[in-house]
């Protein structure tokens, strides 16, 4: 650490001790540009929190999110920032993935209390966000993304109700339904949930009895096949196909084992498409699912134009 940086840190600490939090944050932000360590990050986030710049504090904390997840004090600080910015959905997801020794019931109680306060003070605003979220599919792709992001500021119960409605909304995109299923799973939603899949049919899923998409055996096998077929021989192709497999797995979830019974053949086809080679044969049922995924990709691309 340079002498100049050390002086800035001392100045920031002095400003912080005198409760000049804005000045402390400005100095620490300057330091952070040169030294983005966890220690400096923590000090900067604390100063911003004291200055009530909650969103900016959360944005900086995201730089070291894994550290905030593992340390009890940092974990609590990040939760406080989520509640201060009324990110109730993210707050519950954060608590449910917290350290094993975390008192989850107490932390969930804090979230419920913050939700009730928001409803009491901002009931009309929440009602507008709720209505827009429930009718998310009325918008174009950009509008859907905006309404989806706003949905995270709803009380968890309202978000859950809306998400379940959208899972059977025929006008919601397959990717949006897949994203909402991941959200519900991370919120700890249990019991039977109805969803519309790629084929237009409705199915039931118990999220807590189903492995998350990227922890599933099917996704592990897809990545394993990609490792075997491409490896590091073509890093550009590997990264592009890895990203594609993640998106494909999301779209097929939660019917991964039914939709992709032969992961190696699936990767073979994706690889042929990437290099514009002749496609290898694929089992008919799996090919049908693969075609549905490609159709969803095309529709998504058209919506983003």
For the segment 212-241, the average pLDDT, to the nearest whole number, is 95
The per-residue pLDDT for 1 is 60
d(CA 38, CA 26): 17
| Higher pLDDT pick, 141 / 50 | 50
For the segment 69-75, the average pLDDT, to the nearest whole number, is 93
Q: In sequence order, what are the beta bridge partners of 193?
A: 205
Say yes or no to pLDDT of 2 above 90: no
What φ, ψ does residue 202 adopt, rounded to 5°?
Answer: -100, 140
The per-residue pLDDT for 4 is 87
d(CA 187, CA 195): 17
Instruction: Supply the mean pLDDT for the chain.
Output: 96
For the segment 248-268, the average pLDDT, to the nearest whole number, is 98
Say yes or no to pLDDT of 273 above 90: yes
Token pair recorded at residue 214: 């990227």
CA distances from 126 to 133, 153, 154, 220, 224 (A): 10, 8, 6, 40, 45
Total residue count of the chain as it appears in this document: 305
The per-residue pLDDT for 99 is 87
Contacts of 20 (CB under 8 A, 6+ apart): none
For the segment 271-298, the average pLDDT, to the nearest whole number, is 94
The per-residue pLDDT for 301 is 87
Q: Sign of dihedral through CA atoms 145, 150, 155, 161?
A: negative
The per-residue pLDDT for 100 is 84
pLDDT confidence tier of residue 303, bands split at 50, 70 and 90: confident
The per-residue pLDDT for 304 is 77
The per-residue pLDDT for 28 is 97
d(CA 16, CA 124): 37
For the segment 144-172, the average pLDDT, to the nearest whole number, is 97
Share of the chain above pLDDT 70, in %: 99
Domain ranges of the chain: 3-85, 116-209, 213-303
Say yes or no to pLDDT of 169 above 90: yes
For the segment 287-304, the average pLDDT, to the nearest whole number, is 92
pLDDT confidence tier of residue 232, bands split at 50, 70 and 90: confident
CA distances from 281 to 222, 242, 245, 262 (A): 17, 21, 19, 12
Say yes or no to pLDDT of 305 above 80: no
CATH top-level class of 3-85: mainly alpha
For the segment 224-249, the average pLDDT, to the nearest whole number, is 95
Say yes or no to pLDDT of 243 above 70: yes
Contacts of 119 (CB under 8 A, 6+ apart): 126, 155
């Amino acid at each position: 650490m340079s002498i100049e940086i050390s002086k800035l840190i001392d100045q920031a600490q002095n400003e912080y001790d005198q409760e000049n939090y804005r000045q402390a944050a400005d100095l620490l932000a300057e330091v952070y540009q040169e030294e983005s360590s966890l220690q400096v990050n923590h000090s900067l986030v604390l100063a911003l929190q004291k200055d009530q710049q909650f969103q900016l504090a959360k944005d900086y904390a995201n730089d070291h999110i894994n550290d905030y997840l593992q340390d009890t004090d940092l974990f609590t600080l990040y939760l406080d920032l989520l509640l201060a910015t009324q990110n109730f959905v993210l707050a519950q997801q954060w608590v449910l993935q917290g350290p094993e020794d975390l008192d989850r019931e107490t932390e969930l109680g804090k979230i419920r209390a913050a939700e009730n306060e928001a409803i009491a003070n901002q009931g009309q605003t929440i009602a507008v966000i709720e209505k827009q979220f429930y009718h998310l599919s009325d918008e174009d792709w950009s509008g859907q993304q905006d309404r989806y992001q706003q949905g995270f500021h709803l009380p968890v119960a309202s978000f859950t109700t809306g998400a379940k409605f959208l899972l059977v909304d025929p006008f919601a995109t397959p990717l949006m339904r897949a994203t909402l299923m991941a959200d519900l799973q991370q919120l700890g939603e249990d019991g039977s949930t109805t969803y519309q899949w790629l084929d237009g049919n409705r199915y039931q899923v118990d999220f807590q009895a189903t492995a998350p998409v990227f922890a599933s055996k099917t996704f592990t096998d897809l990545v394993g096949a990609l490792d075997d077929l491409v490896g590091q021989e073509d890093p550009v192709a590997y990264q592009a196909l890895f990203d594609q497999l993640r998106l494909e797995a999301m779209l097929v979830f939660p019917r991964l084992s039914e939709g992709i019974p032969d992961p190696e053949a699936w990767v073979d086809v994706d690889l042929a498409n990437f290099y514009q080679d002749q496609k290898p044969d694929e089992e008919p049922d799996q090919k049908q699912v693969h075609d549905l995924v490609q159709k969803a990709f095309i529709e998504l691309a058209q919506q983003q134009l």
